[in-house]
Amino acid sequence: MDEHIVVPDVYDLPHGQLLEDSFCIPKEIGSLKLSRRESKAEIVYYDWNLRFVNPTFASRPNNFGKDEIQVIFNLNQKIEWQICSGNSDKAFHQEAETVKMFPGEVCIFRNNDYKTSMQYDESVNFKFKSLQMKTSYFEELLSRYFPKEQIELCKSIFLTHVTKTLISPDMYHVLSEIDGAEKYHQFKGIFLEAKMMELIALVLNGIFYDRVKISPRENNDASCRISEHDSEIAKIEALRQRIQFNPSDDYNAAEIAESLSMSESKFTRLFRSIYGVPFHQYVKNQRLEKAASLISQGSMNVSEAASRCGYNNLSHFSKEFQKKFGVLPSKI
């Protein structure tokens, strides 16, 4: 049996807070995990994880009065969503227009208080990340950084079309850096703002020079499938997110490569090319950073944090910790 839910305004979630489950999705219907980070430059970053028990039609009647530019990174599932720009009293599904995205694609979309909806399959994890900013701020960025003769071209693309390109390795890398911004402590605000601006620049560059397609807001069955290489990168990014949130799990490179249908050498080479460090080093860094966070928050002592993050040898943990951070864990 299909479910139908109306999504409330979840965008007022406090900065840095994780929203889970029953806030807007009853547990018998599905689950939602949503985190939010905001920069001083009025750019907001969201990390979405959705899963529904049954096929579910989720809709939003409007964008709560907001005129926004949304940059949406589709990480793991083919998706279709509907946009309705009219304000008539006709049934929503009769006037909606369809936008299609494959895993590993990113799109820019102006939501000028439009109605939107999407059909979600049952028992499937949907992962998205998004940047959102007021359209007026986006136009300010265009006027600040683009030559005058290009500004109108940019507006004609971004303000009237759903514009897509592939998520490049550089974009994946910056997404991972934004996800790990907490390690910069009191400097994370500066770091987040810089990385959000970098991410916008990478997406705009990808659209101008490596564009997949520009999709006018009309029903169109033509879609550009991503290459096998881009699909592999999307799988590795999904793995990276798993490591970030569960660093203490056992990560065997050979077993992971087999699960991703690639050789171990190809997997480790791709991982390093995207994230700039070897796979085993990334896992170690995430474990140590998680431990440092647990200790500094006072929620665990050194021994407990080491064990929670996958270290059974306290002496080895202390040595690795000091090597990375320059101090013993007992000194933070």
Residues 200-215: tens digit of each pLDDT: 999 988 887 765 444 5
Give the CA distances from residue 206 to residues 39, 302, 330, in Å, rounded to whole numbers and listed in that order: 23, 44, 45
- Give me the mean pLDDT over the 21-42 stretch: 76
Greater model confidence, 84 or 109: 109
What tokens appear for 303 in the block?
């021994």
Please determine, for residue 285, whether its predicted confidence score (pLDDT) is greater than 50: yes
Selected residue with higher pLDDT from 44 and 98: 44
Instruction: Give yes or no for residue 49 having a pLDDT over 50.
Output: yes
Average pLDDT over residues 30-44: 84
146 and 91 in contact (C-beta within 8 Å)? Answer: no
What beta strand segments (E) does the chain contain? 3-6, 18-20, 30-38, 44-52, 56-60, 67-74, 79-84, 97-101, 105-112, 115-120, 126-134, 161-166, 213-216
224: confidence class by pLDDT, cuts 50, 70, 90: very low
In sequence order, which residues have a C-beta less than 8 Å from that of residue 21 and are 6 or more positions away?
27, 31, 32, 33
pLDDT reported for residue 226: 53
Q: Compute the average pLDDT of residues 68-82.
A: 89
Under DSSP, the state recorded for 226 is P
What amino acid is encoded at 278 in this protein?
P
| Mean pLDDT of the residues in the chain | 81
pLDDT at 79: 86
The arrangement of strands across the sheet holding 97-101 comes to 3-6, 56-60, 115-120, 79-84, 97-101
Q: What is the mean pLDDT of residues 68-97?
A: 72
Span 307-328, pLDDT tens digits: 989 898 999 999 998 988 888 8
Where residue 91 falls among pLDDT bands split at 50, 70, 90? very low
pLDDT of 93 reads 43
Average of pLDDT values for 286-306? 87
Asked whether residue 13 carries a pLDDT value surpassing 80, the answer given is no
Q: How confident is the model at residue 257 (pLDDT cuts 50, 70, 90)?
A: very high
Q: Read off the pTM.
A: 0.72
pLDDT > 90? residue 198 = yes
Tokens coding 192: 């987040």
**20 pLDDT above the threshold of 70:** no
pLDDT confidence bin for 10, thresholds 50/70/90: low
Mean pLDDT, rounded, for 95-118: 84
Rounded to 10 degrees, the C-alpha dihedral 166/207/174/257 comes to: 10
Asked whether the predicted pLDDT for residue 4 surpasses 70, the reply is yes
pLDDT at residue 37 is higher than 70? yes
pLDDT in tens, 124-181: 888 899 999 999 999 999 999 888 878 888 888 778 778 888 888 888 889 988 888 8
Domains, in order of start, for the chain: 3-222 (2.60.120.10), 246-331 (1.10.10.60)
Report residue 213: phi and psi, to 5°: -170, 160
pLDDT for res 1: 52
